[in-house]
Amino acid sequence: MSDAENKPSRTMRPCPICSKLSTQEDFPFCSERCRKVDLNRWFTESYTVPVVETDDLDDDDQGGL
């Protein structure tokens, strides 16, 4: 048996970068290029996770931690 036969089949989805159908080799992307575009966006901090700032809490309000 080849490696392709041993891999579980994934549903083809639109690539998150260009919206073409994804491939088995580059899932969830359609190509190596789109994988690299996504990686670059992470490295340049284009993707961010929203955070709630809690600077208004005093040290006394933290219960002695």
Q: Is 7 annotated as a binding residue?
A: no
Q: Is 57 annotated as a binding residue?
A: no
Q: Is 34 annotated as a binding residue?
A: yes
> Distance (Å, rounded) from C-alpha 4 to C-alpha 17?
25
| CA-based nearest residue to 31, from 19, 45, 47, 41 | 19
Q: Is 30 annotated as a binding residue?
A: yes
Q: Which residues are annotated as a binding site?
A: 15, 18, 30, 34
Binding-site entries for Zn(2+) = 15, 18, 30, 34
